[in-house]
Structure formats: structure tokens, C-alpha cells
């Protein structure tokens, strides 16, 4: 599929979250050139004269992301932007691609950012969450040096090696049949039953703000980026990057696995929709429906949503391995989207969101809980 570069657009400087408005209608529905893949384009769809967040008393804005960055600075790595594939590996002449190396983050994924922001802001000492694995690992990693207890509820398709790491870090795990919806429902029940603080993997204001620090770092180091490609599961990372990108002309593109396109379907319908449990090699992106917090942010700021097949995800992961990146399939989704989209000739950034491969997880399980020095400045 070949798409002509879009004309430069003016920066969006405000965010319209829930309130009476007409449903967003995607500008185009583009058929994919790859099997079992579709794209929904929302480029250039801007709410009509949205009010400034402060004027509407909205729950989140860029200031919340900046506050999160200050709060969690001593608990994470500022991951680098590294050179991405070029030439025959990225079949768009003249295009530059950088990779935001969140696979190098403590705990192996960007999830540490949102988890740390929520735990530190809430002062939580007893925590319950539902997770596909990486968010649970992030919380368990934080819990040991902070003296907190973590219970992680996992659905049937959770990666056994990720469960082993959570346990090795001192977390308690609970398995439930069904998909993400059943997992999250059980986590809510456990929090109510035990009085613990519920910290969802994406559907929480503090988690979204923490994930948005990825976007702050990208735009600080690559202010001339034309496009940022963001892997999209529960939507916390995409929503956070959207918040960070307000006031900046960068295009924000969410990339979903073709088997679980909950945001693409929801934006096309004009309201959140729930999908049946889906399967994808990107085990961290198997959400069934948009979160109440991320959805309106994504609806009102995202520029495009594209989907990629499992074959495209595995090809991107193999490409990353050839270049020395230890990325799990979920972590390769944004690169798969960047390769597939092939839009524009300027600088693009793809977020490599996680590096919890089987080998990396085995090392993490053997290492056990981190020393306090690994979690604080």
C-alpha cells in the first residue's frame, strides 16, 4: 500500500475529553495489502474548536505527563533513541527511522513508567492488578524495594515465563479462565475484597500519564520527528503519547495486531466496542475493549490507526534481532506498523515497547528482586 505524504498540519494545543460531541468518523477505510490486515485512517480529523483542558476541568493534560516525569525520574532509565533499519530493510528511499529503546527499560518494558507513577502518587502498599505480564512484572519489581505487596491476576493465555518472573520478584499470581475482560473483572473483585489499591495496566489516569513520558522523551530528543508509531493494546501508551504530543505537529499513529483491533473498530463505530477474546503473537496486546481513560484521549488526538498481521510482527521482531535488539513480539509491533505504512520521507520514530523474550525472562527470574539502587536514583 502506498500513501502520499500528508501536508503539514497545525499543532493541536488542547484536548477534548468526554462531553457532548458528534462521534468521530474516520476519513477513510483502507484495505490492507497484507492478509488479515486492515487500516483505519483518522488523519486530520480534529474536534471543532475544543476548549482548553483547564477550562473544562478535564482529568488529564500534558502537565500531568510532565509531573509524572518528575515523580518517576529516579525509578527508571531514560532510554535512548537508536538508529533503526534503513535501505533495503526499510523500503522507502530517503526515509529515516529511529527506535525508542524501551526494551532496555528496567523490568524489560515501558510498563515501569505508568506503574511507578501510580504507586508513588498513591503511596500504595497493597496492590492488585490485571496484567498480561509486563505490567505485573513492573509492579512486582517496584514492590520489593518499596515494601509493597502485589497480586497479579492473569488470563489463561499469559506467558508462563512472565508468570515465573512475577513470582521470582515476590508477587502473588492468580490465574482465571477467559480473556482480558474476565481477568480485569477478577482484579476489581479482589481489590474490593481485600481493600488493596487497584492499579490497572492501562485504564488509569496515573498510569496513562506515566506512559506518556515515553512521548516527552521522544519529542525532546527528536523534535523534528514527522511520525511516532506506538504499539496499542489497552491504549495507555498511545494515550500517553497523545497527551505528550499536544502542541506539537508530530503525527501519532497507533499500531494494533490485526486479530485485536479494538481501537480501530471503536473509532469506526464512534463509541467503544468490545471484541471477543482474540489471539495474536503479541501477547501483551490482547485487550478486548478500549479503556475509559485512554479512549477519549486517543479519539481526539490520534492521527492514524493501522493494523499488522502476526507475520508482519514476527518479521519485524526478526529484523530487530538481526540489528541486536532483544524485542518480544509485542515490542516489535510499532516497527511492523512503520514498515507497513511507509508514509513520508522525514524522520519517524517507532517505540520498541518491550524486550521480555524467553531468554530475557529466564535471566530476570534467576536474578530475583532488584536491589533498591536499581529502582531509585
Active site residues: 111, 132
Which residues, in sequence order, are CB contacts of 22 under 8 Å at separation 6+? none
Q: Where are the alpha helices (DSSP H) in the chain?
A: 53-56, 62-72, 111-122, 134-146, 160-168, 180-194, 205-211, 213-221, 236-244, 262-269, 294-301, 310-322, 333-341, 358-367
Buried b (16+ CB within 10 A) or exposed e, 329-365: bbbbbbbbbbbbbebbeebbbbbbbbbbbeebbeebb
Single out the residue of 83, 135, 91, 92 nearest to residue 113, CA to CA.
135
Cell of 127: 496492590
**Reduced to 3 states, what is the DSSP secondary structure of residue 305?**
strand
Residue 321's alpha-carbon distances to 98, 110, 241, 324, in angstroms, are 15, 19, 25, 5
Single out the residue of 134, 129, 130 nearest to residue 155, CA to CA.
130
Single out the residue of 253, 234, 227 nearest to residue 344, CA to CA.
227
Taking the CB of residue 133, how many other CB atoms lie within 10 A of it? 29
Cell of 75: 525509578
Residue 184's alpha-carbon distances to 83, 176, 179, 271, 290, in angstroms, are 37, 10, 9, 20, 13
Angle at 307 between CA 338 and CA 78, to 5 degrees: 50
Helix, strand, coil fractions of the chain, as percent rounded to 5: 40, 15, 40
Polymer length in residues for the chain: 377
Are the C-beta atoms of residues 208 and 236 closer than 8 Å to each other? yes
Amino acid at each position: 500500500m502506498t500513501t502520499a505524504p500528508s501536508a503539514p498540519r497545525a499543532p493541536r494545543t488542547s484536548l477534548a475529553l468526554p462531553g457532548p460531541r458528534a462521534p468521530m468518523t474516520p476519513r477513510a477505510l483502507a484495505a490492507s495489502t497484507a492478509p488479515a490486515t486492515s487500516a483505519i485512517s483518522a488523519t486530520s480529523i480534529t474536534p471543532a474548536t475544543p476548549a482548553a483542558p483547564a477550562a473544562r476541568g478535564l482529568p488529564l493534560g500534558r502537565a500531568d505527563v510532565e509531573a509524572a516525569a518528575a515523580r518517576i525520574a529516579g525509578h527508571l532509565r531514560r532510554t535512548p533513541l537508536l538508529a533503526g533499519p534503513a535501505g533495503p530493510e526499510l523500503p522507502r528511499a530517503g526515509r529515516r527511522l529511529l527506535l525508542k529503546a524501551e526494551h532496555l527499560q528496567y523490568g524489560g518494558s515501558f510498563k515501569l513508567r505508568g506503574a511507578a507513577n501510580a504507586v508513588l502518587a498513591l503511596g500504595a502498599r497493597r496492590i492488585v492488578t490485571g496484567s498480561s505480564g509486563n505490567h505485573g512484572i513492573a509492579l512486582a519489581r517496584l514492590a520489593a524495594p518499596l515494601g509493597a505487596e502485589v497480586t497479579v491476576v492473569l488470563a489463561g493465555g499469559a506467558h508462563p515465563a512472565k508468570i515465573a518472573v512475577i513470582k521470582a520478584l515476590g508477587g502473588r499470581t492468580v490465574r482465571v479462565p477467559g480473556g482480558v475482560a474476565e481477568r480485569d473483572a477478577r482484579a476489581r473483585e479482589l481489590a474490593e475484597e481485600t481493600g488493596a489499591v487497584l492499579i490497572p495496566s492501562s485504564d488509569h489516569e496515573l498510569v496513562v500519564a506515566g506512559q506518556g513520558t515515553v512521548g516527552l522523551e521522544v519529542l525532546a530528543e527528536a523534535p523534528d520527528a514527522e511520525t511516532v508509531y506506538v504499539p496499542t493494546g489497552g491504549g495507555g501508551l498511545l494515550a500517553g503519547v497523545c497527551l505528550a504530543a499536544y502542541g506539537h505537529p508530530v503525527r501519532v499513529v497507533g499500531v494494533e495486531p490485526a486479530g485485536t483491533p479494538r481501537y480501530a473498530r471503536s473509532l469506526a463505530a464512534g463509541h467503544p466496542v468490545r471484541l471477543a477474546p482474540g489471539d495474536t503473537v503479541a501477547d501483551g496486546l490482547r485487550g478486548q475493549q478500549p479503556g475509559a481513560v485512554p479512549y477519549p484521549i486517543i479519539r481526539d488526538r490520534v492521527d492514524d490507526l493501522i493494523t499488522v498481521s502476526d507475520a508482519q510482527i514476527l518479521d519485524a521482531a526478526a529484523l530487530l534481532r538481526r540489528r541486536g535488539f532483544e524485542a518480544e513480539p509485542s515490542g516489535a509491533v510499532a516497527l511492523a506498523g512503520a514498515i507497513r505504512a511507509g508514509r513520508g520521507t522525514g524522520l519517524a520514530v517507532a517505540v520498541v515497547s518491550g524486550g521480555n523474550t524467553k531468554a530475557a525472562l529466564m535471566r530476570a527470574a534467576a536474578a530475583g528482586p532488584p536491589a533498591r539502587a536499581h529502582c531509585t536514583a
